[in-house]
Structure 1
Amino acid sequence: MSVLFALLISFDVANARGPGLPNVMVLATGGTIAGSGASSTTVVGYTAATVGIETLLNAVPELKTVANVKGEQVFQIASENMNNDYWLKLAKRVNTLLAQDDVDGIVITHGTDTIEETSYFLDLVVKSKKPVVVVGAMRPSTAISADGPINLFNAVILAGSDEAVGKGVLVALNDQINAARDVTKNNTSTADTFRTPELGFLGYMQGNKPYFYRQSTRRHTADSEFDVSSLDVLPQVDIVYGYANMNRVAIDAFVAAGAKGIVHAGVGDGSLARPAVEPALDEARKKGVVIVRSSRVGNGIVARNGEAKDDEHDFVVSDTLNPQKARILLMLALTKTTDTKEIQRMFFTY
């Protein structure tokens, strides 16, 4: 990076934030962005979560031109190993930091496999309008053309910007900005994997500056009713996947294992197979398990009283949330109520 280019970056960000650079905290959780491979051409079969936060930050010395950056290793895992305990720990740490006057924004480095779930969980429980940006990489840090450094650089700029304030938790990779609620991993391996298929990106990173073109209309972060500050566990909620020739075995097993909620990832508009599945869900509901109808399709609204008589069954529909995000909202809803009408309100709100 030339001295002139670095000065231009510093000037742009300083103007956006007023005198001085923003203070951005980078919380590291592992993932491919912190991964390493056997050689510079290893882009599959690498080992995730091997590189620590200081190494990540030192690999992008340009960060000091756009923000006062500090790093913290919260945990170090591949994101397929993400669980509720990690989420609670991360959320509490984020809220503690955002309450400090000397923190303007937070970047979270994360594995891409569950980045959409962690970001949506945080979108529902973060208690601040300050920017929170979740970032990852599709290639390990040791690879030719590793995407982690530029993704991290952009994420720090975004987290320190005025433009990102009040936008909810953001997912930023590949020069694209997505809303946590809507983004999903769209491809197993390409760098442009993160998409909001029908609703579209919120904006782009270009020339070391964020450009927003839309924003989410759903409640989030500081306006959310959910609070995990005193929670040590989350209710058990499981997902049952719909398919041709489906049976009730998984539903019965989850109920027997103590599920408080089940998300049914149905075919089409959340359709329920009869006679195998619908009776099993009815029986689960009568035992107190809250049932949410979602869809495996990945786009569109699951219509209430559309492919099932939800009022009669006392089911909830997921609106446009995919199954994995419907699970997160249902878990948090169950920390407040078991009233399905109230839970349905939450699904139409968040």
Structure 2
Amino acid sequence: MSAPSQPPRILVLATGGTIAGQAGDAMRADYRPGQVGIEAYLEQASGLGVAAQFTGRQIANIGSEDIDASIWSRLHAEIELAMRDDELDAVVVTHGTDTAEETAFLLDLTLPSTKPVVLVGAMRPTDAVGYDGMRNFANAVRVAGDPDAAGRGVLVVMGDRVHSARDVRKAETRATEAFRGFPRESVAIVTPSRLDWFGAPWRVDDGARLKFLPLPEVPILAIYAGMSAAAASHQLTHNPPGIVVSGLGEGNMPDPVRQVLVQHARRGCLVVRASRTDQGLVDREPEDDENGFVAARALGVPKARMLTALLVANGITDPAEAQRFFDER
């Protein structure tokens, strides 16, 4: 564990979400995300003793189910500028929890690892009993301000846990301990006053793995028992450039559906087998070479879709070359 000698200089990019939401009643279950602006939020954080020199910018004020390409583009551009700004030490992004794993992974794949970038959210709005957002935010500042956070890629801080963007997923709809990691459960434990890493940085001096480019539409084909070839074909009539299969077990599917996907692979579509289960590896099977399929390995369906879209955007559609990106840790 290490600590900076002076308050870290942190750029906070706000996108809304529950962490900035309000219900108008401490006991209500429903609420509106993105109601508290970043200036008011940082004033409250500073008043509670969260130690940092903050610069705040409001990128959006939405529920993260409405995140889109324009918001991702602005986020990426702002963080790229911060990476080159000697007056900034780190970036914290406040974000809704529904799509935090997708945003984190997109940024992780397309940014260098030279400065810490930390996403943080909340499961309860600001005026709810037991609001968890300010503690999560204080924890995120603690992580972002630690020199040892550099070289670890984009991180997600929730519920006193620090997760790698590649591992993290939302696993609960309401509980404050809503995030899990696979294959690494978490890479550190954090409180506002202490941070303990579980290992050394793994992306030291690492550049962006892929270019940030406009993403093509890559559908998720949800597999179910008894699914017919006609049902699969109906969802894929627009001949997408990539398809992610939310498969049974270890990325399995009925044989008639498999044959439909083989035809898409043969026309140059990047077909990725992932699993609808909560976690686990999807390894390559003997037929993948012949079928032209890619195995998602440890990536769940949402992140497999994000990586597939980025690969296609970067012109990487050869299954063997694409497989190397899914095999990374």
Fold-level similarity (TM above 0.5)? yes
Residues 37, 47 of structure 1: 8 Å contact kept: yes
Moved more, 319-328 or 238-247: 238-247
Name the CA shift for 1:102/1:191 in 2 (closer, same or farther; >3 Å).
Answer: same
| Residue number among 285, 288, 297 corresponding to 1:305 in the alignment | 285
Please state if 1:264 is matched with 2:253: no
Question: Take 1:175 and 1:324, find their aligned partners in 2: how far apart are those partners?
Answer: 24
Please state if 1:201 is matched with 2:182: no
Letter paired with 1:45:
D
Question: Take 2:293 and 2:277, find their aligned partners in 1: how far apart are those partners?
Answer: 19
Letter paired with 1:130:
K
Structure 2 SS opposite 1:210: strand
Residues 169, 221 of structure 1: 8 Å contact kept: no
Q: Deviations along 1:84-141, whole A, 9 cap, x unmatched?
A: 3322221122111121001100100000011111111111111242111100000001
| Structure 1 counterpart of 2:126 | 141
Q: How many percent of aligned residue pairs carry the same amino acid?
A: 37
Moved more, 192-201 or 57-66: 57-66
Structure 1 SS opposite 2:157: strand
**Residues 41-52 of structure 1 correspond to what in structure 2 (within 5 A)?**
41-42=27-28, 44-52=29-37
Name the CA shift for 1:199/1:128 in 2 (closer, same or farther; >3 Å).
Answer: closer
| Structure 2 counterpart of 1:8 | none
| Structure 2 counterpart of 1:57 | 42
| Structure 2 counterpart of 1:29 | 15
Residues 92, 141 of structure 2: 8 Å contact kept: yes
How far off its partner does 1:221 sit? 8.8
| Structure 1 counterpart of 2:258 | 278
| Structure 1 counterpart of 2:26 | 40
Question: Take 1:250 and 1:156, find their aligned partners in 2: how far apart are those partners?
Answer: 48
Structure 2 SS opposite 1:141: coil
Q: Deviations along 1:321-349, whole A, 9 cap, x unmatched?
A: 00110111111111232211111111112
Residues 111, 209 of structure 2: 8 Å contact kept: no
Q: Deviations along 1:192-246, whole A, 9 cap, x unmatched?
A: 01111553211111351211113685x6993333122xx3x21221111121122
| Residue number among 174, 193, 208 corresponding to 1:224 in the alignment | 208
Letter paired with 1:225:
R
Question: Take 1:149 and 1:80, find their aligned partners in 2: how far apart are those partners?
Answer: 21
TM-score by length of 2: 0.93
| Structure 1 counterpart of 2:63 | 78
Residues 124, 220 of structure 1: 8 Å contact kept: no
Residues 113, 185 of structure 1: 8 Å contact kept: yes
Q: Deviations along 1:275-294, whole A, 9 cap, x unmatched?
A: 2x111101212232110001
How far off its partner does 1:189 sit? 0.1
The two structures, once aligned, show a CA RMSD in angstroms of 2.1
Name the CA shift for 1:326/1:78 in 2 (closer, same or farther; >3 Å).
Answer: same
**Residues 9-20 of structure 1 correspond to what in structure 2 (within 5 A)?**
16-18=3-5, 20=6
Name the CA shift for 1:300/1:220 in 2 (closer, same or farther; >3 Å).
Answer: farther
TM-score by length of 1: 0.88
Please state if 1:244 is matched with 2:225: yes
Question: Take 2:56 and 2:48, find their aligned partners in 1: how far apart are those partners?
Answer: 12
| Residue number among 321, 327, 331 corresponding to 2:305 in the alignment | 327
Question: Take 1:151 and 1:250, find their aligned partners in 2: how far apart are those partners?
Answer: 43
**Residue ranges of structure 2 left out of the alignment (5+ in a row):** none
Name the CA shift for 1:118/1:290 in 2 (closer, same or farther; >3 Å).
Answer: same
